A and B are shown apart, each in its own frame.
Chain A
Amino acid sequence: MTSQFRTSLVIALLAALFGLVPAQSPDKAQASSDQTQANAARIGSLRGRVTNSDGQPMANVTVNISPIGRAAGRRPGMPGGAVQTITDDEGNFQVDGLLPASYAVSSAAPGYVTLPPEDENSAGIYHPGDSVLLTLVKGGVITGKVMNSAGEPLTGVSVNAIRVGNVDGEADATPAAAGFGRNWRTNDLGLWRIYGLVPGSYIVQAGGRSGGPNQFSEFSEDAPTFYPSSVRDAAVILTVRAGEEVSGIDIRYRGEKGRTVSGRVVARTESGFANFGGIQISLRSAASGAQIATTMQMDRGNSRGFALYGIPDGDYEIVARRSGFNPLESDEVSAPRRVSVRGADVSGLELTLAPLATVSGKVIIEKKPGAPAAACQPQRASFIEEVLLTAQRDEAAREALSPDVPRPAAPAANGEFLLRNLEAGRWRINALLPGESWYVRAISLSKAPASAPVRKTAAATQPSAASVINVARDGFSLRAGEKLKGLTVTLAEGAASLKGKVVTDGAKPAGRIGVYLVPAEKESADDLLRYALAGTRSDGSFQFSHFAPGRYYLLAGTMPEAGSSGSALSLSALDNTRRATLRREAEARGIAIDLSPCQRVTDYQFRTAGAFEIRK
């Protein structure tokens, strides 16, 4: 082995290692400006405790604290970057020196999993000054054997548990990859044991290259066999609970030859060493959207050929996505291509990459003249970097190229932000706010006439008239690869909050109940930012925060769908008709509340006769 061989080996290994680290920014300028702006008042701490499900402390476990949505300065091991610490004998941890940001906090120990936070409203996002309670429990186990048709054990078959939902079988936000992304394989007795599983519903697959590009074996070109001995659609779903073992999951391996789907990714630009990412090619079921196979390809010169092995017959969609490390550029994706595999390899596919769009703008905080009311003195000042912005597709247009939800972005200290990786289409902006005192007063888009590209639209003939778009009401549209500028998110101080309980007279309505807030003032009828929806917990309690002071009607309604719970912003996509219906219903019932700036109502009893059903 020459020393050069070793050097390149080392580079590749490091690349592999660092693949696990959040993307880094080369933005030195940002770093130094962070540095100069930093002062003691801005630096904070996160402290917390890790326990098991019985409340016993978990000592000596790793706690990961990583900033969310920061475009710059995300360096591991430093303020503003991801940091790790270890709990003490009492399960406590503390990390000091944190810059203002939203942080995701999780704990880890081999074989254990962090349970999602009980409080839905925290959404697992923390800010310096918060205290964090984490529950670390033994993950679930699935174990069994893989045999051939003669009942003989097979060695070296990769086995993978794919999470398809929560323990009740419902889809949720937890990623499908399970158990550390480890390379689970059968041993010389054909036995396998997958541990550290997040509680949920799983299907188990043997064979195929599910685990990554390096998992080659004598079985890695076979079409995978699903437990007990079937194709994916007929796989038996297993329920795995924390700390429990599901055993005897013996798989009769079918050993069916899979097909190869291959082709080439066409890129218009070279990505350099400093921005080196990779290209991921994913094959998804056309019917269910489930990911069938994926491969990571080097993004280099002429080597953008790809091949996916072990693909069973079926109809698929294939997409390539190039992700770089440059925090100012969007990923590039190819238009999804339909692929039908029918007893033969498919080759010669060409997937052409095109950049996704970006939206940039500024978050500004409107200062009220004069001294704030005593009620408005927050316990801890919030910082603009603790705001998280997400782009959400207009509900009406769900023709997403990829199921990946664009990641949230946090503004810099000067309020400037950049949202990346957006597909063409109509979008809305949501803001997740820290503390208690801010609310979103307006979201608008001003198209600067000088820099706007010339377009043959009706708007272009009257540039001054259409220069400001009310994004909160209408959303905004993006063309493929557009770099849209000029979005302004206006925050105001003096937000009110409301905690309470639904008290139903008579029969309890079926299904989960949500509570709507509807502005009572006529002039606010079209101000979508003043509408809100909160889910109730099993005891009927609900809470709203970060909304404008004023007069509101309350209305109980069935929750539109799972997953929109707790968010006061999930109504942003209400169209005019539905909004008018909601308003009429709320007005008719006439239950109203007046909230003054910074008012914190904590024990509101909401008496309601029944639940209004809002239809789509």
Chain B
Amino acid sequence: MLRSVRIAAVLLLLVAGSEAPAQTVVSAEKRATVTGSIKVGDSPMPGITVMLMPERQQRPGPSQETPLRAATDAGGQYRFTGVAAGRYRVVPLTEVYVVTGSEAGPGGSVITVEEGQAVTQVDFRLTRGGVITGRITDHEGRPMIAERITLTLVDENNQAQQFNGGSRFGYETDDRGIYRAYGLKAGRYLVSAGNDRGGPLMPGRRALYPRTFHPDVTDQSQATIVEVSAGGVTENVDIRFGEPLKTYSVAGRAVDADTGQPVAFVLLSVGRGRGGFGPAGAGPGGGGITSDSGEFRIAGLTPGRYNLSVSQPPPVPGVSADLMSDYYSEPVSFEIADADATGIEVRVHRGATITGFVVVEGAADPSVAAGLSQLVVNAASRSQSSNQGQRGGMRPTFSPVAPDGSFRISGLPPGRVTLSLNGFGGPGGFGGAGSFSLLRIERNGAPLTGDFNVTSGEQVAGIRLVVAYGSGVISGRVNITGTLPAGARLTVTAKPLNAGGQARNAGVDARGQFRFEGLLPGNYEVSLSAVSGGGFGGRQQPGGQGAGARQGRGGGQGAGQGARQGGTPNNQISIPEVRQIVTVSNGAEAGVTLTLNLPQQ
């Protein structure tokens, strides 16, 4: 679905961090200005509020700065003054209009501002959006209340397209079953509601309906396409649900594979198809956690093949440690046809544990050490018996780091384990101006590179993750002579030469500027590369529904300190090599200018 929940979530997150005012004081002469205009068609648009939101590239979580606001004047001009250096997102706050223009998505335009710079012509063009309205009813003709609508923009071949605009809050029906989607880009839309994924009912949902398109079909190819014109209203786009999906439950118990005794309080996940994570936790009828007698029942499953296995909870502050399990299991496969699955036995094994400490190298600053408890240690394990397939062999397990730096990871299956470090609210995850970087991992004082082996039930102690705290900044610009291929995006990589930490990437904004924050002191090689692809929001996947929460299963997995790769490698564009060495020190900003000479087109 292109009305992507993920984009909305990203926006919300960016703003969630906007509650606290800036603490930093920048002298007046270093303050920058940002100006631009807003037009509807060719006419200047007065009275539109524009927001300038700080965008922390390293930590997209909460930041300290307050978003600035400005309204356009009678000439459609807006102006921000007193802007501190940094990366920002400029967002026109309008829901009735569609923001058009090359890179202005629902997230607006990202700019980099240097000290004292006058950034001009951050312009936006608006078009009055169209409206789709209608009513959604259940199989008995009763209104569906609080039902979310999915809009999919399609091209002339009925292929899903990316689109921006409309309310970032999404659209849902009221108590009469009526919805009204507005601020829509002109075009052809599929309008649907319902859920075709199975899984437990959401709290309060009275029945599970298959995804149904206007007017009453579940087959997308049969859907009536809704035409929307700029500023036009398309009414009576109703959806009538057919029979609700029949759902079933799976029940059984978890037993210790060695002793045959029931095992209480383990989290079981139902996965569908290729190892996807299914409903974890509380579903109707008891949820996926075994009772004190080892029993479980998970309801709300539609017919299909499933796997059931012990899973570790994603790292959720204050919650997940409670559900961390000392156990693992091989997946148990079962099928739901037209009845509940009962008597499923999940044989669980006591897993290996890894204990150790995260330590800050060389730093005695207690305020830095206090930030350790914001970190999470991840263990990605590759099971020896991963030919059990289904789960892809990789299994993330994590431990929050205690204030004294200690951590404990349990329930690991035997196999190869890779440790990494992550943080709450983003890598580093520390509320200050800097961030933590992982320097090295030691086992009993000896360096540990790559993965290592754990045997069945092994107690691995004496692991040290050595981190350093960096607050250096590289701020730079790219001067381009010649013409970039259409659709190309530039990415800058900062690779530490004699500094700790991993290489990082930063996008180059439309004005040729980029910025790295939270770097460890030392020398970096700064280089340029180019990829093809859209801007912000270009990764929306057609057909993905209810994104946000579902992706939650990924939790703290994978993305360690080394995973800061930008675009996918297969869309690399060849450009001339541009490299430069930059020296970074803590608390200071290093400037750099890269020059890219391209042939004229």
Contact = CB atoms under 8 A, between A and B. Distances in A.
A208 interface: no
B447 interface: no
Interface in B137-187: 145-146, 167, 169, 174-175, 180, 182-183
Contacts, number: 310
Interface in B487-521: 505
User: Which residue, B67, B205, B505, has most C-beta atoms of chain A within 10 A?
Assistant: B205
Contact of B559 (A6, A76, A86): A6
B96 interface: yes
Given A26-B321, A78-B289, A216-B67, A5 B426 contact: yes
Contacts of A85: 284-286
Chain B interface size range:
35 or more
A185 B169 contact: yes
B264 A77 contact: no
A185 B559 CA distance: 37
Given A272-B402, A306-B19, A187 B566 contact: no
B424 A276 contact: yes
A109 B204 CA distance: 4
A3 B565 contact: yes
Contacts of B423: 8
Interface string B532-575: 00000001000000001101101111110001111000000000
A38 B286 CA distance: 18
B322 A25 contact: yes
B430 A84 contact: no
A187 B284 CA distance: 34
A248 B176 CA distance: 17
A76 B96 contact: no
B203 interface: yes
Interface in B401-439: 401-403, 422-427, 429-432
Interface string B254-288: 00000000001100000000000000011111111
B122 interface: no
A274 B95 contact: no
Interface stretch (A16-24, A543-551, A568-576): A16-24
Contacts of A59: 206
B314 interface: yes
B12 interface: yes
B558 A7 contact: yes
Given A75-B322, A110-B204, A195 B424 contact: no
A10 interface: yes
A224 interface: no
Interface in A107-162: 108-111, 138-139, 141, 155-156
Interface string A41-78: 00000000000000000011110100000000001111
A11 B375 CA distance: 12
A77 B280 CA distance: 10
A325 to B, nearest CB: 3
B291 A79 contact: yes
Contacts of A138: 175
B10 interface: yes
Interface stretch (A292-300, A312-320, A394-402, A599-607): A292-300
B84 to A, nearest CB: 15
Nearest to B372: A272
Classify the secondary structure of B's interface with A.
loop
Contacts of B375: 273
B81 interface: no
Given A188-B131, A214-B15, A195 B62 contact: no
B370 interface: yes
A273 B343 CA distance: 38
A31 B265 CA distance: 8
A305 B22 CA distance: 8
A277 interface: yes
Interface in B12-26: 12-13, 15-21, 23
A503 B203 CA distance: 48
Interface string A212-235: 011011100100000000000000
Contact of B146 (A6, A13, A110): A110
Interface string B288-304: 11111101000100000
A347 B20 CA distance: 11
A318 to B, nearest CB: 14
B175 A5 contact: no
A77 B49 CA distance: 45
Contacts of B319: 18, 21, 24, 325
Interface of B: 6, 9-10, 12-13, 15-21, 23, 48-49, 51, 59-64, 66-67, 69, 71, 93-96, 129, 131, 145-146, 167, 169, 174-175, 180, 182-183, 201, 203-207, 264-265, 281-293, 295, 299, 314-319, 321-323, 367, 370-371, 373-376, 400-403, 422-427, 429-432, 505, 539, 548-549, 551-552, 554-559, 563-566
Given A9-B60, A95-B286, A138-B175, 19 more contacts: A3-B563, A4-B559, A8-B61, A8-B427, A26-B322, A60-B207, A75-B323, A86-B299, A108-B204, A139-B175, A216-B51, A218-B69, A270-B370, A273-B317, A273-B318, A273-B400, A301-B374, A305-B64, A307-B20
The 8 closest A-B pairs by CB, nearest first: A77-B287, A301-B431, A276-B317, A325-B318, A272-B373, A305-B20, A218-B49, A273-B400
28 contacts: A2-B563, A4-B427, A4-B559, A4-B563, A8-B429, A11-B314, A11-B316, A12-B61, A24-B322, A35-B264, A38-B292, A77-B281, A77-B286, A77-B289, A84-B284, A85-B284, A97-B291, A188-B180, A262-B21, A270-B373, A270-B403, A273-B317, A298-B61, A300-B430, A303-B63, A303-B431, A307-B20, A347-B21
